[in-house]
């Protein structure tokens, strides 16, 4: 019997077809069905039994018909992504194509390489219905919360939308803004003693306990020119490399190093995963990019240890460390190169600049993790003058270990001994003020969402995009500033739904979805408990929440357009970034003059 493999993307289909030339491979182009928008409340869900009603997505009629024709008389294998979304897509395809859910018609692979694809092809499994139930529960929650809250804020506040994770992310940003506004700075003083290129600091600097200007000036005045080395403590310290990338860490570092958004980081990673044409072969360069695990496969670890031994010597081979992250589902490996022998330089000619940079980040991080830790000599030196102690910590590399991969700057080291005299070059004080916490940027917001257990790696990029597109925040020099509309929306959601729109409840909901995924919690029980509490709050808010439209003021720049002479104003683009535009854009003839604020 002929075989048909169905994957999600055409690129992946093309790559797999190269490895299995006798098999037909087609793509579903993502989800093919979704909840209906008809019926009671438009949920597409029976709220008594929580039985969902699905329909083929309108844009996918052609794809579905093509798959139905191709599947006739063939053995069908479903090779969608190895996560809950992928499992749900396989389940929907199985239902549409009339496949038996008891058959082994699901194949899994974490990387798109020939050995991985052949192994998966030869070892199909059943669809994991617990994973499907978890995804279905998430979709139902998001539909109910999204529909009810979005309709509410649209009608009462003229806001665009609200959602289970999106609204909590907005609350996190606004809570930080409130902290910043309430912050009262305090003055303090730091004192430093410079000896050539080496600067020691006063022992009270770290505690920021020197608040009085007169006391700081008194210390500076009483310091003698000669200092004595009072104490030296020496110890060895091991320096370990970071764990390989999870999705959130890849997004955080990718945003900063590639200077793009989280969505762009994931799009680049997707292409590296699905396959790149290297010489005459299309090959996946990295493993699946949606993961919260730092685990690596034993085969890859063994291969990499051999590589390290051959290239750097056996003394550079590290010891495998296991992360103790309790929030990790550990369903997949960390994001890693599919082969350690496929170095960044060897694939550079086949990649664009940003793809190369991201691949190099992933490759270097993984290789460093499996190399030996570095060892440093750490020397803590305390010096004194007229009863005032100053200290500094010096570091000298004894063994570079994984740091052999990176360029290192040599730091000054202290070679003196206790009792030695040092002659001061300069003593000086600095006047400082305590500062509030910084506003969130996209990478720090993702880090905070992960820390609090809000959402999942696959949802972070979508969450940050939504709060921008909804007009709730704007980006100023990379940092999120809440808008008046965002503040109004969060204020009302907090007033009427504070038992739901908070970090603790949303994190607890993620935990329950994890329990459904492992078969430890009933989907129906979780949804019923949620709905019986949530729906009365919606009904109350619909009655009691007042209409609160905000009149949107146009902010004028105070300049005329150099092109047409009309007023220039500040606008915000879909990324939440402000720019300057001409008011003549809405006139006829239309003036399209724009410029960045920095210009």
Q: What is the Cα–Cα distance from 125 to 121, expressed in whole angstroms? A: 10
Ordered DSSP codes for 363-378: HHHHHHHTBPPEEEEE
413 is catalytic: no
| List of residues 6+ apart from 76 with CB closer than 8 A | 3, 4, 5, 6, 97, 99, 105
Q: Which residue has the tokens 């992933």?
A: 362
End-to-end CA distance of the chain: 65
* Structure-derived torsion over alpha carbons of residues 324, 330, 336, 338, reported in degrees to the nearest 10: 140
The three-class DSSP label of residue 48 is coil
What is the DSSP pairing of strand 24-27 with strand 3-7?
Answer: parallel
Identified catalytic residue from 188, 245, 273, 288:
288
d(CA 549, CA 195): 63
Helices 166-182 and 503-517 meet at what angle, rounded to 10?
150
Q: H or E stretch including 95?
A: helix 84-97
Angle, CA of 16, 17 and 22, to the nearest 5°: 130
What tokens does 17 get?
């077809």
**Alpha-carbon dihedral 471, 476, 477, 478, rounded to 10 degrees:** -40
Q: Locate tokens 């008594």: which residue?
A: 48
Q: Which of 452, 541, 455 is nearest to 497 (CA)?
A: 541
Q: Which residues are catalytic?
A: 288
């Amino acid at each position: 019997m002929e075989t048909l493999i169905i994957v999600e993307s055409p690129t992946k289909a093309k790559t797999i077809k190269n490895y299995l030339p006798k098999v037909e491979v087609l793509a579903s182009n993502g989800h093919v069905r979704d909840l209906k928008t008809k019926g009671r409340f438009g949920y597409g869900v029976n709220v008594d039994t929580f039985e969902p009603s699905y329909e083929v997505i309108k844009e996918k009629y052609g794809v579905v018909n093509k798959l139905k024709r191709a599947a006739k008389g063939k053995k069908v294998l479903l090779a969608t992504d190895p996560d809950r979304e992928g499992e749900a897509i396989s389940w929907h395809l199985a239902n549409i194509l009339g496949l038996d859910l008891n058959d082994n018609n699901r194949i899994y692979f974490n990387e798109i390489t020939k050995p991985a694809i052949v192994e998966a092809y030869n070892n199909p499994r059943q669809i994991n219905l617990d994973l499907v139930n978890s995804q279905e529960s998430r979709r139902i929650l998001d539909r109910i919360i999204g529909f009810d809250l979005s309709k509410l804020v649209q009608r009462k506040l003229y806001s665009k939308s609200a959602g289970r994770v999106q609204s909590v992310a907005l609350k996190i940003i606004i809570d930080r803004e409130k902290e910043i506004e309430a912050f009262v700075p305090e003055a303090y003083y730091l004192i430093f003693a410079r000896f050539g290129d080496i600067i020691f600091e006063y022992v009270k600097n770290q505690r920021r306990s020197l608040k009085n200007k007169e006391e700081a000036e008194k210390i500076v005045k009483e310091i003698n020119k000669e200092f004595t080395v009072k104490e030296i403590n020496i110890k060895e310290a091991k320096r370990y490399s970071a764990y390989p990338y999870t999705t959130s860490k890849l997004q955080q570092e990718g945003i900063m190093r590639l200077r793009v958004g989280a969505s762009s980081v994931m799009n680049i990673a997707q292409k590296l995963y699905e396959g790149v044409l290297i010489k005459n072969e299309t090959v996946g360069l990295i493993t699946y990019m949606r993961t919260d695990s730092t685990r690596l496969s034993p085969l890859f670890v063994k291969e990499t240890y051999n590589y390290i031994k051959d290239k750097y010597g056996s003394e550079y081979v590290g010891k495998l460390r296991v992360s103790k992250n309790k929030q990790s589902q550990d369903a997949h490996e960390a994001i890693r190169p599919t082969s350690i022998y496929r170095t960044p330089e060897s694939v550079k000619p086949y990649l664009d600049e940003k793809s190369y940079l991201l691949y190099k980040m992933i490759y270097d991080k993984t290789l460093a993790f499996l190399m030996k830790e570095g060892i440093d000599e750490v020397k803590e030196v305390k010096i004194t003058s007229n009863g005032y102690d100053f200290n500094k910590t010096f570091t000298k590399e004894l063994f570079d270990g994984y740091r052999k991969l990176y360029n290192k700057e040599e730091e000054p080291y202290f070679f003196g001994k206790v009792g030695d005299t040092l002659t001061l070059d300069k003593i000086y004080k600095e006047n400082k003020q305590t500062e509030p916490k910084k506003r969130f940027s996209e990478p720090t917001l993702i880090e905070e969402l992960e820390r609090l257990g809000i959402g999942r790696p696959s949802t972070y990029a979508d969450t940050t995009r939504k709060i921008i597109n909804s007009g709730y925040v704007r980006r100023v020099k990379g940092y999120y500033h809440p808008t008046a509309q965002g503040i109004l929306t969060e204020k009302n959601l907090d007033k009427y739904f504070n038992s739901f729109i908070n970090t603790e409840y949303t994190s607890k909901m993620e935990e329950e979805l994890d329990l459904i995924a492992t078969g430890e919690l009933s989907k129906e029980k979780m949804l019923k408990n949620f709905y019986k509490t949530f729906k009365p709050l919606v009904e109350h808010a619909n009655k009691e929440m007042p209409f609160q439209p905000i009149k949107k003021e146009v902010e004028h720049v105070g300049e005329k357009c150099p092109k047409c002479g009309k007023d220039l104003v500040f606008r915000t683009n879909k990324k939440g970034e402000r720019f300057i535009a001409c008011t003549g854009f809405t006139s006829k003839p239309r003036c399209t003059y724009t410029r960045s604020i920095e210009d």
